[in-house]
Amino acid sequence: MNPTVAIVGAGPAGLAAAAALTARGVRDIAVFDRDDTVGGLPRYCGHLGFGWEYSHRLEKGSAFIRRLIGETDLSRAALYPRTTVLEMAPGPVLRVVGPETGLREIRPKAVLVATGVRERPRAARLVPGARPERGVLTTGALQQMETRGIPMPGPRAVVIGSEHVAFSVLLTARHCGLKIVAMAEPGNRVLSLAVARPIARVVFGVPVFLNTEIEEIQGRATVEAIVLRTPEGLRRIPCDCVIFSGSFVPDAPLSEEAGLAIDPRTGGPVIDQFMRTSQPGVFAAGNLLRPVESSGVAACEGARAGACIAAFLAGHLDGTQAASVFGLGEGVRYLVPQRWAMDAVDLRDARPLRPSLRVSSDMEAARVTLATDGAVVWQGRRRRLLRERRIAINLDALPSGRPAAPRVDLVA
For CA atoms 317, 321, 324, 327, give the dihedral sign: positive
Strand partners, 158: 182, 242
In whole angstroms, give the CA distance from residue 277 to residue 316.
17
Do the beta carbons of residue 292 and residue 117 sit within 8 Å? yes
Phi then psi dihedrals of residue 257, to 5 deg: -70, -25
DSSP state of 126: T
The smaller minimum CB distance to another protein, of residues 150 and 411, is found at: 150
Helices 164-176 and 139-148: angle between axes, nearest 10 degrees: 30
Minimum Å distance from CB 249 to another protein? Answer: 7
Minimum Å distance from CB 172 to another protein? Answer: 12
In whole angstroms, give the CA distance from residue 50 to residue 43.
10
Residue-by-residue DSSP string for 34-53: SSSSSS-GGGG--SEEE-HH
The smaller minimum CB distance to another protein, of residues 245 and 338, is found at: 245
Minimum Å distance from CB 265 to another protein? Answer: 13
In whole angstroms, give the CA distance from residue 358 to residue 353.
16
Minimum Å distance from CB 275 to another protein? Answer: 23
The smaller minimum CB distance to another protein, of residues 35 and 185, is found at: 35
The smaller minimum CB distance to another protein, of residues 86 and 194, is found at: 86
Say which amino acid occupies 64. F
Q: Would you give the distance in Å from CA 412 to the centre of its chain?
A: 29
Minimum Å distance from CB 244 to another protein? Answer: 9
Minimum Å distance from CB 398 to another protein? Answer: 33
In whole angstroms, give the CA distance from residue 135 to residue 132.
7
Do the beta carbons of residue 12 and residue 295 sit within 8 Å? yes
Minimum Å distance from CB 199 to another protein? Answer: 26
Say which amino acid occupies 7. I
The smaller minimum CB distance to another protein, of residues 14 and 403, is found at: 14
The smaller minimum CB distance to another protein, of residues 57 and 220, is found at: 220
Minimum Å distance from CB 119 to another protein? Answer: 6
Give the residue among 251, 303, 385, 340 at the shortest CA–CA distance from 53. 303
Residues of this chain that interact with another protein (CB under 8 A) are 34-36, 82-84, 86, 97-104, 118-119, 121-124, 126, 128-131, 133-134, 137-138, 140-141, 144-145, 147-150, 216, 220, 249, 251, 253, 256
The smaller minimum CB distance to another protein, of residues 119 and 343, is found at: 119
Do the beta carbons of residue 385 and residue 363 sit within 8 Å? yes
The smaller minimum CB distance to another protein, of residues 264 and 315, is found at: 264
Minimum Å distance from CB 20 to another protein? Answer: 26
Strand partners, 383: 365
The smaller minimum CB distance to another protein, of residues 114 and 385, is found at: 114
In whole angstroms, give the CA distance from residue 62 to residue 267.
27
